[in-house]
């Protein structure tokens, strides 16, 4: 039985009668509450076959738990003019009975099977647009992601270079502001030239704030991308 086991999973058994006589069959299981078998008994004509559907009910699958469920297909030659199947099994002698035992195996589909199921569920026009099918759409998506990533990394490097440049300019402006403030304090005459120097020193403050903001933006952008 192939999972997932969140819904009914059906497996078919093909029973063939290779003899020249009619054969009665009956299907038994060690876990009757977990399975529905249709038909669970009947008669197979000589040289004919019958399909038996075994339906596993939904359950919580544990891959570490080994399955102990077993089935047994029991057969015997049908007597002439059979009318009561139950009587046939009750009156059958042990040496007249034949049986085949089967052990249940639970398997989850692997990743390749899942991808094939997804591809098979896509609309036909998409599948017929080219000869490249299977996992190719996935690899194409990965290449696009790599391209976008390279662009973001290059943009981050460019922003980091800009930040370094702005940092140098900020350091230069800060030194220039300190020098201008010293000149302004040393000038006691209060001349227009001194006032102009004070204005230049104060005007450097907005530029300093812009540079600091750019540094923080670049830092957080780099942390987010990398």
Domain boundary among 103, 121, 137: 103
pLDDT confidence band for 116 (50 / 70 / 90): low
pLDDT digits (tens, 9 = 90+) for 182-219: 777 766 555 555 555 555 555 555 566 666 767 767 66
Domain that holds residue 78: 9-103
Same domain? 96 vs 169? no
Any alpha helices (H) in 57-191, and if so which ranges?
A: 85-91, 111-120, 124-127, 136-186
pLDDT digits (tens, 9 = 90+) for 41-57: 999 999 999 999 999 99
Same domain? 97 vs 169? no
Nearest Cα neighbor of 14 from 53, 69, 61, 71 is 53
pLDDT digits (tens, 9 = 90+) for 85-98: 888 898 888 899 99
Residue 13 has pLDDT above 60, yes or no: yes
Whether residue 18 is contained in a domain is answered as: yes
pLDDT at position 219, please? 65
Sequence-distant (6+) residues with CB within 8 A of 103 are: 67, 69, 70, 71
């Amino acid at each position: 039985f192939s999972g997932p086991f969140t819904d009914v999973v059906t497996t078919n058994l093909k029973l063939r009668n290779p003899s020249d006589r009619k054969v009665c069959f009956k299907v038994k299981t060690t876990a009757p509450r977990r399975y529905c078998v249709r038909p669970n008994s009947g008669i197979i004509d000589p040289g004919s076959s019958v399909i038996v559907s075994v339906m596993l009910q939904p359950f919580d699958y544990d891959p570490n738990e080994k399955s102990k469920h077993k089935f047994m297909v029991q057969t015997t030659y049908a007597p002439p003019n059979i009318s009561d199947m139950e009587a046939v099994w009750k009156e059958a002698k042990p040496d007249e009975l034949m049986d085949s035992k089967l052990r249940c195996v639970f398997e989850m589909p692997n990743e390749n099977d899942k991808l094939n199921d997804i591809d098979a569920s896509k609309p036909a026009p998409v599948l017929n647009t080219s000869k490249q099918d299977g996992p190719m759409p996935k690899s194409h998506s990965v290449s696009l992601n790599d391209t976008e990533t390279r662009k973001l990394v290059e943009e981050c490097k460019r922003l980091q270079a800009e930040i370094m440049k702005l940092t140098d300019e900020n350091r230069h402006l800060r030194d220039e502001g300190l020098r201008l403030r010293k000149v302004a304090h040393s000038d006691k005459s209060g001349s227009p030239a001194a006032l102009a120097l004070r204005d230049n020193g104060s005007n450097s403050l907005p530029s300093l704030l812009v540079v600091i903001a750019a540094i923080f933006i670049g830092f957080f952008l780099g942390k987010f991308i990398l």
